[in-house]
Structure 1
Amino acid sequence: MTDTSSSPTAADFCAIDFGTSNSAIGIACAQQGMRLVPLEDGRLTMPTAVYYFAEGKHDAEGPPRAFGRAALQAYVAGHSGRLMRSMKSILGSELYEHSTDVGSGRGVRYADMLTGYLKQLKRRAEAVHGAPLTRAVLGRPVFFVDDDPVRDATAQQQLEDAARAAGFSELAFQFEPIAAAFDYERQVSAEQYVLVADIGGGTSDFSVVRVGPQRREQLQRREDILASHGVHIAGTDFDRHIELAAVLPALGYKALGPSGREVPSKIYFDLATWHLINTCYNPQRVLELRNMKSFYADVRQHARLMTLLSEQLGHELAQQAEDAKIASAQSAAEVPISLDLIESGLEVLLRPQQTEQALGADIARIATAAQECVRMAGLAPEQIGALYCTGGSTGLPALVQALHAPFPQARLVQGDAFASVAAGLALHAKRVFA
């Protein structure tokens, strides 16, 4: 295959799927139009993660750092520093302009983290493309922030600001589920309505889109987008509920004190929320929690909590909860979760009924949002020709079943869990910029 990088007139545009859990980028290719860039070890996606090392020399962009899988590996290897994930969830919040400690008294602005990650994607794509990339289509969820148009607009502006700081001079945005519809459209032979469900780490987004072979090359597709809807509930929420339900009770969540009152719960909610975990290690906060030993009837639970905080094991514990969620979703059996990192021999069980109870309400809300999207489109359920699922969380059978149940006649299509949106954004980028 010969891509456009072999020409002095190589295209200067790309498409970026900046995801809560994983990201991807597409560039122009002479023979195939657009293609996704291998970002790490030949893989087309890279975890949306940055690891800041507590030791080493600063450069012009901040403390020494690693990105993607290298960031996760640095964390697992036990290097001194901070792992940052779920950065997309910061958009639209006040945290965007704030700084956080990444070790050894070093502070990094959240805005700079986003810019640095986007800059890394850009560099890796340019290395493959062989030419600068100055224009981009960026995907965005239907709602960055539920029921708050002002904060939602702020979130898009913040993402635009970060992209411009990363070196892009011209930008366009496209809804992520609509991009997925573009990817699906390549498969259809007749006009139909498709309900796109894009359920990733941070948001569950839906769109009803009219697709067909006669519409593929049209640049203006606004009239084909019948409705878009979404909720800010997805994979990271599932992980949090699993951790609270099955893991953190061993460390005192919902435990009772000698007086019969429940111990303070805020620390546990923060430990179960990726972008808040680092705030739990603040020395003053750790000292306050250490002095709460008398609040616990079972002092072993307090000791486990203090071990987690002193060893800074919050992200590792969250990862174990996510792994258990996946295992539980794919099996009707109990899933053991080893907590040896907290206490030798400590183990908890994630039971199927716990998974159902922990995720049931969120799955129901997501399924309701899908049905509402179809109603907003003015269609009856039987008019939906296909349910197209993409995003990492669509690997949960219970979720897919709940989405499909109201549309039994619809063809169920599972797209690439991590690359469908990026592929569709790349198609759109070609139409916008070429």
Structure 2
Amino acid sequence: MTASLPALGLDFGTTNSVAAIARGDAAELVMLDAPDGAQAVFRSALCFWEDGDVRGGLASEAGPWAIREYLDFPEGSRFIQSFKSVAASATFEHANVFERRLRFEDLGTLFVDKMRARARGRLDGPMARIVVGRPVAYAGSRPDEALARSRYDLVFGALGAEVHYVYEPLGAAFSYAARLTERATILVADFGGGTSDFSVVRVDVPGAAQRCVPLGHAGVGIAGDRFDQRIVDRLVMPLLGKGGSYRSFDKVLEIPGGYFADFADWSRLALMRNKRTLAELEKLRRSALDPEAIGRMIAVIEQELGYRLYDAVGGLKRALSEAEQARFVFEGAGLAIEAEVTRDQFEAWIAPDMLRIDAAVDSALASAGVEAADIDRVFLTGGTSLTPRIRRLFDARFGAERIATGGELTSIAHGLALIGLQDDIAAWAN
């Protein structure tokens, strides 16, 4: 690579995105403008609104600026978040935004452009390489990896440098390796919003010709957003008609679950505000045995209350990470929910997900050809790694003394940038 040019590491995340630039043998995070001051973490969200003074009549913002615009004018906005979750979904063709049809690559390109515009020029210069993180296993019931790659190529290929894709936990591994002074076999567990990904890496001493060697990987499309779905399913959905029935001629049938599945998915909730879906829900409301419940679902969608619901759910999760009991509060669109939730209850709700995460750890170890006893250090990263149930899983399997944390939201981008400086980039790319 050209020594005079820096490498860019980009962690395009389901919940947050982070950029880092590496030059020489060091990397630093890119600080991005935000309403409350510069910050490295940029929310992976977009907000659209109609504006006749803007070319094309459709204005937009991203990151924390999108949240601010939404909060100022929710009913006149379209707020889209967690859209990375549909990257590998063949069923996702486009999002309807004020009669516009925006494909995944349209959303992704717009988001990256807005992110660059807030970087104070740090992302405008030429780069020798761009290293973009990708999950080991994409989110979704039937993820199409080739489709996700083609969509990523359209988004990131326009950045003006050679693009390499690297498993996200490998980025975190390279960042964590900078802390180590002795040889070690490490397991990196990256828990984000959409996926939980694992890599086993052998780390050599500083100055070694090949500092890090990837040994094996595994992943599962379950993480923080799935935990959110469990909360919504238990606390909100019963008031929106889930489990209810509707009348069809002389039969009483259960309401189809698809509407509720989409509602509980942050990447799809905002997309339900389209003429077809709302017409279907209105027809269902008229035939439902509990029409008021379906009416509340329609009102949440029409009033663009998805982010406020997301914020309430996230607040409950954070509170339960600190305390054994917390209160869930959400009000709007005819809903007034107050519920005391214990940590034990929440952990019972996510128990099926924890089993699949545990199995993915087994797969990562098997892929690397190692046993749990062979792991010297476990590095937990990603925002969902702060969930106490996640931490207890790894304490029990590997011992608390082997667990390391830190840089939960930034380690991947930092490591991706450092990987961009390596001569053996092909050994890391996937």
* TM bucket normalised to smaller: 0.7 to 0.9
- Matched position secondary structure for 1:64: strand
Note if contact 2:319-2:326 (Cα within 8 Å) is conserved in structure 1.
no
| Structure 2 residue 69 is matched with structure 1 residue 74 | yes
Deviation per residue, 1:90-115 (Å, 9 max, x gap): 2122356x332222x33333211101
In structure 2, what is the equivalent of residue 394 of structure 1? 385
Note if contact 1:336-1:348 (Cα within 8 Å) is conserved in structure 2.
yes
Q: For 1:391 and 1:124, locate their aligned partners in 2 and report how far apart those are by CA, in whole Å.
A: 23
Q: For 1:403 and 1:130, locate their aligned partners in 2 and report how far apart those are by CA, in whole Å.
A: 41
In structure 2, what is the equivalent of residue 3 of structure 1? none
Note if contact 1:194-1:209 (Cα within 8 Å) is conserved in structure 2.
yes
* Partner residue of 1:37 out of 30, 41, 63: 30
**1:196: how far off?**
0.3
In structure 2, what is the equivalent of residue 407 of structure 1? 398
Q: For 2:246 and 2:22, locate their aligned partners in 1 and report how far apart those are by CA, in whole Å.
A: 61
| Structure 2 residue 167 is matched with structure 1 residue 175 | yes
Q: For 2:145 and 2:336, locate their aligned partners in 1 and report how far apart those are by CA, in whole Å.
A: 46
| Structure 2 residue 197 is matched with structure 1 residue 202 | no
| Structure 2 residue 243 is matched with structure 1 residue 248 | no
In structure 1, what is the equivalent of residue 42 of structure 2? 46
* Partner residue of 2:318 out of 309, 326, 351: 326
Deviation per residue, 1:232-265 (Å, 9 max, x gap): 1111111112111111212222235688754333
In structure 1, what is the equivalent of residue 414 of structure 2? 423
Q: For 1:419 and 1:174, locate their aligned partners in 2 and report how far apart those are by CA, in whole Å.
A: 15
Q: For 2:228 and 2:272, locate their aligned partners in 1 and report how far apart those are by CA, in whole Å.
A: 18
Q: For 2:138 and 2:197, locate their aligned partners in 1 and report how far apart those are by CA, in whole Å.
A: 10
* Partner residue of 1:228 out of 199, 214, 217: 217
Cα 1:346–1:19 change in 2 (3 A) is: closer
Note if contact 1:185-1:213 (Cα within 8 Å) is conserved in structure 2.
no
Query: Which residue identity lines up with residue 160 of structure 1 in the other structure?
Result: D
Q: For 1:95 and 1:261, locate their aligned partners in 2 and report how far apart those are by CA, in whole Å.
A: 26
Cα 1:48–1:134 change in 2 (3 A) is: farther
| Structure 2 residue 133 is matched with structure 1 residue 139 | yes
**1:372: how far off?**
2.3
**1:125: how far off?**
4.3
Residues 83-102 of structure 1: pairs in structure 2 closer than 5 A: 83-94=79-90, 98-102=93-97
Note if contact 1:20-1:89 (Cα within 8 Å) is conserved in structure 2.
yes
* Partner residue of 1:213 out of 182, 186, 205: 205
* Partner residue of 1:239 out of 212, 228, 248: 228
Q: For 2:191 and 2:328, locate their aligned partners in 1 and report how far apart those are by CA, in whole Å.
A: 26
TM-score normalised by length of structure 1: 0.87
Q: For 1:148 and 1:102, locate their aligned partners in 2 and report how far apart those are by CA, in whole Å.
A: 25
Residues 309-324 of structure 1: pairs in structure 2 closer than 5 A: 309-324=301-316
Residues 265-280 of structure 1: pairs in structure 2 closer than 5 A: 265-280=257-272
Q: For 1:50 and 1:35, locate their aligned partners in 2 and report how far apart those are by CA, in whole Å.
A: 26
| Structure 1 gaps, min length 5 | 1-8
Tell me which of the two structures has the higher relative contact order, counting C-alpha pairs closer than 8 angstroms and 6 or more residues apart: 2
Note if contact 1:20-1:87 (Cα within 8 Å) is conserved in structure 2.
yes
**1:328: how far off?**
2.7
| Structure 2 gaps, min length 5 | 426-430
* Partner residue of 1:159 out of 130, 149, 152: 152
**1:129: how far off?**
6.1
Q: For 1:217 and 1:261, locate their aligned partners in 2 and report how far apart those are by CA, in whole Å.
A: 66
Query: Which residue identity lines up with residue 54 of structure 1 in the other structure?
Result: E
Note if contact 1:371-1:406 (Cα within 8 Å) is conserved in structure 2.
no
Q: For 1:23 and 1:402, locate their aligned partners in 2 and report how far apart those are by CA, in whole Å.
A: 26
Cα 1:352–1:409 change in 2 (3 A) is: closer
| Structure 2 residue 372 is matched with structure 1 residue 378 | no
In structure 2, what is the equivalent of residue 110 of structure 1? 104
Q: For 2:73 and 2:209, locate their aligned partners in 1 and report how far apart those are by CA, in whole Å.
A: 50
Query: Which residue identity lines up with residue 183 of structure 1 in the other structure?
Result: S
**1:23: how far off?**
0.8
**1:390: how far off?**
0.4
Cα 1:34–1:391 change in 2 (3 A) is: same
Q: For 1:139 and 1:210, locate their aligned partners in 2 and report how far apart those are by CA, in whole Å.
A: 20
- Matched position secondary structure for 2:397: coil
Cα 1:134–1:327 change in 2 (3 A) is: same
Deviation per residue, 1:318-372 (Å, 9 max, x gap): 332232223234322142323x212275434434444123211111211221122
In structure 2, what is the equivalent of residue 5 of structure 1? none
**1:292: how far off?**
2.8
- Matched position secondary structure for 1:82: strand
Structure 1 vs Structure 2: percent identity of aligned residues? 28
Query: Which residue identity lines up with residue 280 of structure 2 in the other structure?
Result: E
Cα 1:170–1:124 change in 2 (3 A) is: farther
**1:207: how far off?**
0.7
In structure 1, what is the equivalent of residue 19 of structure 2? 25
- Matched position secondary structure for 1:132: coil
